Amino acid sequence: MDDVTVEVRVGEVLAVVGPSGAGKSSFLRLLNRLDEPTSGTVRLDGIDYRQILPRELRRRVGMVTQIAYLFPGTIADNLRFGPAQQGIEVPAKAIEELLIQVGLAGRAAEDVAHLSGGEAQRVSLARALATVPVVLLLDEPTSALDAEAKDDVEKLILSVVRKNGLTCAIVSHDLAQAARVADRVMVLRKGRIEKIGPTSEVINAEGAFH
Amino acid sequence: MLKELFTSQLALGCAQAVIATLLALAVMMLARQREIHLERETVVALVRGIVQITAVGSILVLLLRGPAWTSIFLLAAMIVAAARISSGRSKGLPKSFQVSLYAIGGGAGSVIALMTWAGAIDPVITSLVPIGSMLIANAMNTNSLVMNRFRSEVESHVGLIETGLALGADSKRTVAPYVQVSLQASLIPAIDSLRSLGIVWIPGLMAGMLLSGASPIYAAVYQFVAISMIFSSSGLTALICSLLIRGSVFSPAEQLTLRPRPVTAQAVERSA
């Protein structure tokens, strides 16, 4: 990444698009400090994120990846993982409320080994929400799903993000998806910003660049 | 057969070494037929092994006549060499030499010191060096197994480990299951040695004691002592290694620094 300066407002959804190797995922990994910037920094609520403990930062900046990496065990075990790191025990009622949000009501005790790709991604989203983040990073969250599951998960993500007032950065290679979900679009190419602006000014509804 | 052909002990030893080497080379050729290429590593290891053991044998002839305290320097040198060899098995793993040095030194060193103090190892150079080297060598093998397995486990589970980190987990906790697996796997040889003692395996130490005229019961009991010491030093080494290694793959900002090694086209071709 080089010379990338961007401000994302509270509650805004920023789509990050661009060709393979443009640095989209790298950009996201810098935001929750899974990778370290060699220069420059990231500010969360105006505070340099190096002044925040990495664990605390990551609790506040949730992430959903392309492949849903679920821990062996039940759905509830996965949802309890994040809060347990801060010593918080999540009651069964709160687990159920999270599962209702992602359309998996009544399935807390189910083993994650038996879930479909779409269901696993829903659990991954609920797990990210369980730590009550203020920012949500989505790294191509639907690209590994079939067409039907892709539509469902995309609608779900959008409703969850809007309902919880989350600030969101979503990486997508699908311009039509970016047009559907984002307030603004940032186009990356070779690690640099090629274009950034309101979605309607960068891409049209069919998902083509203006 | 060889004994009839060679009257001098040195000539007999050389002939035995040639036959043992031919056998090892035959195994290497069999592996080669299966597209497993061990040629360079085997030849280097064989040459290195014979040169090292002959050189050490010659030096020992002189050293074994020296005072007991010289064995401390010999054993310390062996620990450093073992750490170097073991860390070479874990390329890509950060701080592998330091981890190996502390683990082998702490594991084998403390067992040697404790058992010498307790009287289970005679405080003479002729006892300390051979028994100490046996403990250090086994600790080295265990250390290599822990590190090698740990690296493979981490490389295979990068996604899950980073998911844990992204959910705010303590970095050491995200690799805890893989530390556990590595620890258990590394102790299999030491545990199997204890379990099979006397049934499958009558080790060299006991055979040597019998040949030198010791009571068979004492030789057997002392062999058990030696194998128990090996288990203790290996176990302690594995524990120290696993404690140190879990933090070594993360940066101070709890970022996973160990990445899967790229698989080359040649490697894919060979495995196919």
Q: Within this chain, do residues B106 and B152 fall inside the same structural domain, yes or no?
A: yes
Q: How many angstroms separate the CA of residue B177 from the nearest CA in chain A?
A: 11
Q: How many domains does chain B have?
A: 2
B82 and B211 together in one domain: yes
Q: Are residues B57 and B121 in the same domain?
A: no
Question: 0.90 exceeded by the pTM?
Answer: no
Q: Mark whether B80 and B16 lie in a shared domain.
A: no
Same domain, B241 and B123: yes
Domain end marker among B37, B63, B89: B63
Residues B208 and B238 in one domain: yes
Q: Do residue B134 and residue B198 come from a single domain?
A: yes
From B166's Cα to the closest Cα of chain A, the distance in A is 5
By C-alpha distance, the chain A residue nearest B157 is A69
* Pair (B54, B182) in one structural domain: no
How much is the mean pLDDT over chain B?
Answer: 86
Mean pLDDT is lowest, of B63-67, B73-77, B96-100, for: B63-67
Which one of B167, B250, B254 makes the best mutation probe of the A interface by having the most chain A beta carbons within 10 Å? Answer: B167
Residue at A11: amino acid letter = G
Domain boundaries, chain A: 13-72+133-202
Please tell me which of the candidates B162, B168, B254 has its beta carbon nearest to residue A82. Answer: B168
Write out pLDDT tens, residues A23-54. 999 999 999 999 999 999 999 999 999 999 99
- What is the β-pairing status of strands A13-17 and A47-48? unpaired
Flag whether residue B165 sits within 8 Å of chain A, measured between CB atoms. yes
Structure confidence by residue, pLDDT tens digits, B209-232: 777 777 878 878 888 888 889 999
Q: Is the pLDDT of residue B272 over 60?
A: no
Q: Which residue carries 């969250």 as its tokens?
A: A141
Residues B44 and B80 in one domain: no
pLDDT at position A62: 95
Judgement on whether residues B32 and B99 belong to the same structural domain of the protein:
no
CATH for A13-72+133-202 (3.40.50.300, 3.40.630.10, 3.40.190.10, 3.30.70.270)? 3.40.50.300
Cα separation, B268 vs B261, whole angstroms = 13
Do B152 and B225 fall into the same domain? yes
* Residue type, position B22, single letter: L
Q: What is the pLDDT of residue A125?
A: 93
Is residue B183 scored above 60 in pLDDT?
yes
Compute φ and ψ for A202, nearest 5 degrees: -95, -45
ipTM entry: 0.92
Residues B73-90 have pLDDT tens digits of 889 999 999 999 999 887
pLDDT tens per residue, range A162-182: 888 899 999 998 888 899 899
Boundaries of domain holding B36: 1-63
Residue of B nearest to A85 (CA): B169
- Per CB-CB distance under 8 Å, the chain B contacts of A65 are 159, 163, 166
A19 to chain B, closest Cα gap in Å: 22
Position B21 scores a pLDDT of 86
Of B63, B82, B108, the one marking the end of a domain is: B63
Answer whether A59 touches B (CB < 8 Å). Answer: yes
Q: Do B11 and B111 lie in a common domain?
A: no
Per-residue HEC secondary structure of chain A comes to CCCCCCCCCCCCEEEEECCCCCCHHHHHHHHCCCCCCCCCCCEECCEEHHHCCHHHHHHHEEEECCCCCCCCCEHHHHHHHHHHCCCCCCCHHHHHHHHHHCCCCCCCCCEHHHCCHHHHHHHHHHHHHHCCCCEEEEECCCCCCCHHHHHHHHHHHHHHHHHCCCEEEEECCCHHHHHHHCCEEEEEECCEEEEEEEHHHHECCCCCEC
